[in-house]
Every structure is written in structure tokens, then in C-alpha cells.
Chains A and B, each alone.
Chain A
Amino acid sequence: MKEILLLKDGEIVLKGQNRRQFEDILKRNLRHALEDLGRFEITSAQSTIYIRPLSDDVDFDEACDRVSRVFGIVSFSRAAMCEEKTMESVLATAPVYLEKILRGAKTFKVEAKRSDKKFPLRSPDICRETGGLLLSKFPHLRVDVHNPDVTVYVEIRDFGAYIHADPIRGAGGIPVGTGGRAAILISGGIDSPVAAYMMAKRGIKLTAIHFASPPYTSRRAEEKVVRLLEKVSRYAGPIRMYTVPFTKLQEKLRDDCPEELFTIIMRRLMMQISERIAKQRECAALITGESLGQVASQTIGALGCTDEATSMVVFRPLIGMDKQEIINIAYKIDTYETSIEPYEDCCTVFTPRHPRTKPILKFVKRAQEQAGFEPLVEEALQNLKITEINA
């Protein structure tokens, strides 16, 4: 039996003149996600995208899994394509294709969508005939039109007739690439991968920036970030990661700045370096995983000092979230287990014993200026390492 995926566009239906462009990007993202699984035909009509495998050996389970992570799709259905667009063919297909799921259900109903108005039977007739047949084939079933275990859909469309059970929830959001490009500052903790995921969900294409301080941080910490980005990239598509050699800056920080300001000046330096990388790579914004009040550098005062270091827009999608809410998303996108691996990252090197929670911008700036980081910033920017990430 030939299977097909029917995808429901999400928010992009609401776009006006740009809708076509959004749809093209979505199709391109789908094509990329399925690329190595075989050849597919991807078409769209009537705010539905059709994905049809062009060969029989395609791993369709894996294809469904991949599609479930593409932003811009509210829901999708894995459907059987009837041999012909006739009622006989529908009745021949439905009990075979849905046998397993109907055997596991107690109640069901049938819904018909007849967008091809030339089809001889009308929707209520299609439902009645299909329902009658299923009841006779599966005598344990009862009809329940209000709260069925399974809804059987019969869709009569321009290109054919399709049978499927309840649709599967899609990733939501809007297609990656329709919202421009931004740079995520990623450390390896729980928060930043979640922040990256959330902005990708709003259509942002990601570039990643990671700060490494060997020998204070280990190679495993950097490899961990790569593995985290691979997970994010299953949603966000290919990501280019820049690793900034940060050791000398941190050593200077330790030598020439007051201890209680270590963290805040470090965050400012990270912002400034990221801004320069971002601008050269046509990123329009920075993204961080900061959440208000989580640690000393994420108080309202500290964030103010950090923000002042850059003129770029900074997205902080986790700002109002509790740790548990963040962890829930980390579980969902499968980054949690990796995030909690215990490698020292650059944020925990030289943490002050008593960080300032209400830093005064004037003093922070003065301390930073007096230390004179510029030559080291330049040097770091000259020695960026690039890693291409593609799940």
C-alpha cells in the first residue's frame, strides 16, 4: 500500500502577500530534512503539503519522525493513498490500512472531507458507507461521534483519495529561515540549547558562538556543545559554530579586574565579541539562554550591564521561565541528558566568591576599560574555529 504524508501549514496560512515565499522555504526545509532518506515529491495545494516517496524502500517511520521536527507545520497525517478515487477503492483500503489501530480501539467515527466536488458521493454518504463497512469488519467497535478513540478520515482531494487516522501534532512555529539569522551564545548548560530551539521555532536561522578556555575547560566541554547543537539542528537545520579562544581574556580578567565583577565583565566581553562575529556573518540579533534571577549575572541590574555592551537586539526567550519549565523543553528536544554531563565550561571558570548582584554600570565599564581587553579581543577574533553542524 502506498503511503503519503499530508501536512497542515501552521501560521503561514495567515501571511498575506508573503505566503508563497514562506511556503517555498518550508518546502525547502522539508526537502533538506528528508534528503538522505530517498527521493520524495513535495507539492502543495489547498494549504496542505503533500509528501510522496518516489521509491518503495523509503524508511517512512523515520520520515515521519523528521517531519515532526520541521517548524511551520501544525499537524500532519500519515495516510494511505487509495488505488483509485472511487468509493470501492476507499472501502478496500480503509479496513486494511487501519486494521492495527482499529483493533486497539473501542469506539470510532468517520469524517469525510470532500474537496473534490465532482466525487459522486457526498460527505455524509462517504461516512455512512465507510463506517458501516468498518463495523462489519471489526464487530468489537462501536460508533461514538462525540468522543471516539479513533477518528477515521476519508479525504477526497483533487489528486486522489486518502485514508488516515487522527493527525499527529507537528512542531508548530514558522519555517526556519523566514525570520532572518541570529547568533546563539551557547555554553553547554541546560538553557542555551532550549533558547536556540525556541528562536528557531520562530523562524530564525541559527549561527552558534561558543567560548572555550583551555586548559581551564576541557575538549569534552566543546564536544558536548557540538552534540547539543546536533540535537538542536534536528529542528533548526544546519548550524555553523564559531569557537572563540577565550583563555587569555579570562586570565586578564582575573589579573586586572575586581573579583566581584569577574562574571559581569566576562558576560560583557562575550556580548561584544559575539556582536562582532554576528555582524560579519549577517546575523541581526544575539540570543542567550538567560532567565531572570537564575544566577547573579542574570539579575535585572546585571542584565542591564550586559545589554549595554552591545547595540544589537538580544533575544532572551527564557527570561520569564522557571528552571523546571526550561528543563521540560530540554527533555522534549532531547538535550537534557547531554546538558547535565559535568564538564567545566567557561562560565564556571574563576567564579567570584561573592559576585555583585547589583552592579553599577559606571564602575563596571571603568574596570573593563582600565584592563584594556581590546588587543586580546582582536586576537581572539583572528583565531576563531569553525565547526559545521548538521544533524
Chain B
Amino acid sequence: MHYLDNSATTAVSPAAAQAALRLMTVKFCNPSSLHALGVAAEHELTAAREAVARALGANAVELTFTSGGTEANNLAVFGAAAAKRRTRKRIVISATEHSSVMEAARQLADEGWEMVRISPAEDGTVHPEDVAGVVTADTALVSVMLVNNETGAINPVADIFEAARLRCRDVICHTDAVQAFGKLPVRVKSLGADLLTVSAHKVHAPKGCGALYVKKGVRILPRQFGGEQEKRLRGGTEALPSIAAFGVACGEFAIAENLEKVAALHAYAKEKLLSIDGVVLNSPENALPYVLNISAGRVRSETILHFLEEREIYVSSGSACAKGKPSHVLSAMGIDKKRADSALRISFSKYNTRDDVDALANAIAFGLKTLAYR
């Protein structure tokens, strides 16, 4: 099997899986329980929170665990808007955001907020001056993702936030760092983020867990009400097995080492794939090497995806929907519909090898010769 869909999800690392198992079967208690076993569980929760915080250069108290990236992004967007609703009316996002930011913002627009979307430049990244141009004194939130999930484009988030704050001193700055976390050094301070989203299952931990960093002093309002967990910002018993596994996975980060390895693999893949007649590159030149977006001839994404799956090679179609609805990210980059229709996203992890790339390149070359296009 050649798994090249690591931006969709990753295999859980053995140590993380063991941690989860232990907290489901042995130390299974509720961290809110008053008895000694509850206290022991709470210690596990604290340890995990510290591990994730350390990986972000944050303080443990600044982390709120959620059910995943989507919930964390929703909490950031709605929570910031709710906190500022009396005095502000505008939110600014990039046009290439993940749907969990995009749809949340659209919902706010339906409720009367003014939503401004910044298109990326041709290189697929959002430019600080474009953001600064639309931030006004009545802007509540700027949300720009750190690394794009479809193309790997890296946005200059620190510069964007700096430029935004020149226009509006206390605008809340959020970045969705789900695709960057564990792959690039993500430091909340040097990014200047007020809010930052991470997800467990993209970094070799289980699905169903994520976290929102909320900088000390920044006020957002909860979206989910219940018990007093997570400093009342997110009620509900913490998913301790997943959270603990997340902590373990963060402890296993070897960012520089893996980046070097994946960068070499990426370069190799790019060279091999682009030498195939009909294959073009959609990812920007300076993108994160974990993601490689290409268009393969005129064969539709879904067709070649199934063709590859018959050979046990797993990638993702660049386009979100089977019925020819092209990716909003690629079209925001100005890539035409035909090319977007045949986009493929190849995404690596530390577990991939040259062997995977060879299998992929050979299969695509063969597919382009035999498959029908339209």
C-alpha cells in the first residue's frame, strides 16, 4: 500500500495509540471526578495540555481542547465575533480557508456581519498589504490559515497580523495551523496569533481531538455550554484518551529532521511527476513540501484517483466534490476549471519513501496513456 493522503489524515503512532488504550482501559476515570482516580486522570490531562502547549511555544492554560480542527475553527470565528459584536461588524478571512472557517464566516454573514474575503495572489499566498487594505477600525477578526490544505501554500501570517494590527489595534488574529503543525516550527508568539487551531489526527494521533490556542488576555465567548471544563470555554467531559494520545504525538515531533526527509522526497516526486507528459504543478514554488498539488493531463481527478486506488495508491482529488465543482482554492488562485477538474493532491508523512513516489509516478504515467479523458 502507498498512502499519500496524509493531509486527509495520518496513521496513529504506536506510542500515541498505546496511551489512548491505557486511558480507556486502565486510567479511564473522569478528570472532573473528586476522588483520587479523578485526580490521576486530571494529571494526565494536564500533562497532555503541557505537551501540546510546548509544541506551540504556548502556556498550557492558553489551550482549549475541542473535538477537532473544525470545532476549534468554529469556536475561534463565532467566539471572537460574539465577544466583539457590540462594537464591530466586519470579519476578514482569506479566500482559501478551510470550509470550517469559510462556512462559519458565511453563517456570520447571514446573521448580518460584513464578511470580506481576500483572494490569494498568483503564487497561492495571501499578501499582507491586501489584508491590511480591508481591515477597518470596526473589524472584529482576521482569520488566515498558516498552510493551505490543498496546495501547501504558506501564508506570511506574522506579517499579515502585524499589518492588520496597524489598522486596528485590537483586532483578533486567528490562524488555522492544522496543516502546519508538526511539519513546520509553529510558535504562537512569533506568529503574533491571538487564536490558533491545531488538530490531533493530522499529526499521528487519533481523530476526534483538536485544540484552540487562546492567548492570555484575549476574550472570546463559548459556543458550547455545560460543565466547567476548559475554563468554561468548552463544556463537556474531556476526551482524555484522544487528548493524551495527542500529547504523546506532540512529544514525538522531530520537525527539522522530518522536514528535511520530506523535502527530499517532495523534490524527487516533483521531478518525476513533472517529467510525465501532461502533468502540471498547481502548488506554489515555496509551498510546504508535505503537500504537492498537480493536475494530471485532462483526466478527471476522480477517475485517476480510482485508477490509482486499484493499484493500492491513495491520493486525494484536489476538487472537493465529485460532480465537477472545482476547488475554491484553485479557482481563487486563478487556475482554470479544466485544470482544476483534474487536480490531485499528494500529501506525505514521515512514513513515506521513494518507493511510494515511484509507484505513483509509474501509475500516473500509465494512466495518462490508457485512461479516457473528457
Contact = CB atoms under 8 A, between A and B. Distances in A.
Interface of A: 214-219, 250-251, 254, 342-344, 350
Interface string B273-303: 0000000000000000000000000000011
Interface in B341-374: 371-372, 374
Of A216, A217, A342, most buried by chain B (CB within 10 Å of CB) is A216
B302 A218 contact: yes
A216 B303 contact: yes
B304 interface: yes
Given A215-B303, A216-B372, 6 more contacts: A215-B310, A216-B306, A250-B372, A344-B322, A350-B372, A350-B374
B323 interface: yes
B260 interface: no
B310 A214 contact: yes
A333 B74 CA distance: 36
Contacts, number: 31
Contact of A342 (B305, B323, B374): B323
4 shortest A-B CB distances, which residue pairs? A215-B306, A215-B307, A342-B323, A342-B322
Nearest to B323: A342
Nearest to A214: B306
A350 B299 CA distance: 11
B309 interface: yes
Interface of B: 302-310, 321-323, 371-372, 374
Nearest to A220: B322
Would you call the interface of chain A mostly helix, strand, loop, or mixed? loop
Given A251-B372, A350-B374, A344 B302 contact: yes
B374 A218 contact: no
Contacts of B323: 342, 344
A228 to B, nearest CB: 17
Nearest to A216: B303
12 contacts: A214-B310, A215-B309, A215-B371, A218-B302, A218-B306, A218-B322, A250-B372, A342-B322, A343-B322, A344-B302, A344-B323, A350-B374
B372 A342 contact: no
A217 B300 CA distance: 11
A215 B304 CA distance: 7
Contacts of B321: 342
Contacts of A254: 372
Contacts of A342: 321-323
Contacts of A344: 302, 322-323
Nearest to B305: A215
B303 to A, nearest CB: 5
Contacts of A215: 303-310, 371
Contacts of A219: 306
Contacts of B310: 214-215
Contacts of A251: 372
Of A217, A344, A350, most buried by chain B (CB within 10 Å of CB) is A344
A251 B322 CA distance: 20
A254 B323 CA distance: 21
B314 to A, nearest CB: 13
B68 to A, nearest CB: 23
A214 B372 CA distance: 12
A343 B305 CA distance: 13
